[in-house]
Structure 1
Amino acid sequence: MTAVAISPTVLSMLGLSRLSEITDKRDKPSAEGTVNVIETWIMAALRNYKFFSFEELNAAIREKLLEFNAKTFQKKQGSRLTAFEEEEKDFLMPLPASPYETAIWSKATIQPDYLIAVGDCKYSVPYEYIGKEVEIRSTEKTVEVFYQSHRIASHIKKSYSPEPIYVPEHMPEKHRKFMMYNGEHFEDWARSVGKSTLVVTRHFLTMHRVEQQGYKPCASLMRLADRYSTERVENACERALIYTPNPSLKIISTILKNGQDRVESHIPDTSPNQSRGITRGASYFKGGDRS
Structure 2
Amino acid sequence: MVRCTQKARVNIDYHVELEGHWYSVPYGLVGKEVELRHTEACVEVFLAGRRVASHVRSQQRGRFTTQAEHMPASHRQHAEWTPSRVVQWAQSVGPACAQLVEELMKRRPHPQQGFRSALGIIRLADKEKYGTQRVEKACARALRHRAYSYKSVAAILQHHLEEADEAREQKGPLPEHQNVRGANYYH
Q: Tell whether the 8 Å contact from 2:26 to 2:52 is kept in structure 1 after alignment.
A: yes
CA RMSD, 1 decimal: 4.7
| Shift in alpha-carbon separation, 1:122–1:187, aligned structure 2, 3 A | closer
Q: CA deviation at 1:245?
A: 6.1
| Shift in alpha-carbon separation, 1:175–1:258, aligned structure 2, 3 A | farther
Aligned-pair identity (%):
24
Q: CA deviation at 1:191?
A: 1.5
Structure number having the greater strand percentage: 2
Q: Which residue, out of 5, 27, 50, partners 1:127?
A: 27
1:222 aligns with 2:119: yes
Q: CA deviation at 1:223?
A: 1.3
Compute the TM-score of the two structures, normalised by the length of structure 1.
0.39
Which protein has greater RCO, CA pairs closer than 8 Å, 6+ apart? Answer: 2
Q: Tell whether the 8 Å contact from 1:109 to 1:131 is kept in structure 2 after alignment.
A: no
Q: For 1:195-206, list aligned pairs within 5 A.
A: 195-201=95-101, 204=103
**Higher Cα Rg: structure 1 or 2?**
1
1:169 aligns with 2:69: yes
Aligned residue identity for 2:117: S
Aligned residue identity for 1:235: Q
Q: Which residue, out of 130, 146, 162, partners 1:232?
A: 130
Aligned to 2:92, the other structure's residue is in SS state: helix
Aligned to 1:232, the other structure's residue is in SS state: coil
Identify the residue that residue 108 of structure 1 maps to in structure 2. 7
Structure number having the greater helix percentage: 1
Q: CA deviation at 1:152?
A: 1.6
Aligned to 2:65, the other structure's residue is in SS state: coil
1:45-81: CA deviation from partner (whole Å, max 9, x where unpaired): xxxxxxxxxxxxxxxxxxxxxxxxxxxxxxxxxxxxx
1:268 aligns with 2:170: yes
Q: Tell whether the 8 Å contact from 1:125 to 1:152 is kept in structure 2 after alignment.
A: yes
1:101-137: CA deviation from partner (whole Å, max 9, x where unpaired): x9957351324262253x8975322233233222345
Compute the TM-score of the two structures, normalised by the length of structure 2.
0.54
Distance in 2 (alpha carbons) for counterparts of 1:138 and 1:219? 33
Count of residue pairs brought into register by the alignment: 161
Q: CA deviation at 1:219?
A: 4.4
Q: For 1:72-111, list aligned pairs within 5 A.
A: 104=3, 106-111=5-10
Structure 1 residues not aligned, in runs of 5+:
1-101, 271-275, 279-291
Aligned residue identity for 1:236: R
Q: Tell whether the 8 Å contact from 2:139 to 2:153 is kept in structure 1 after alignment.
A: no
Q: Tell whether the 8 Å contact from 1:107 to 1:133 is kept in structure 2 after alignment.
A: no
Q: CA deviation at 1:253?
A: 0.2
Structure 2 residues not aligned, in runs of 5+:
177-187
1:227-247: CA deviation from partner (whole Å, max 9, x where unpaired): 662783522334436867615
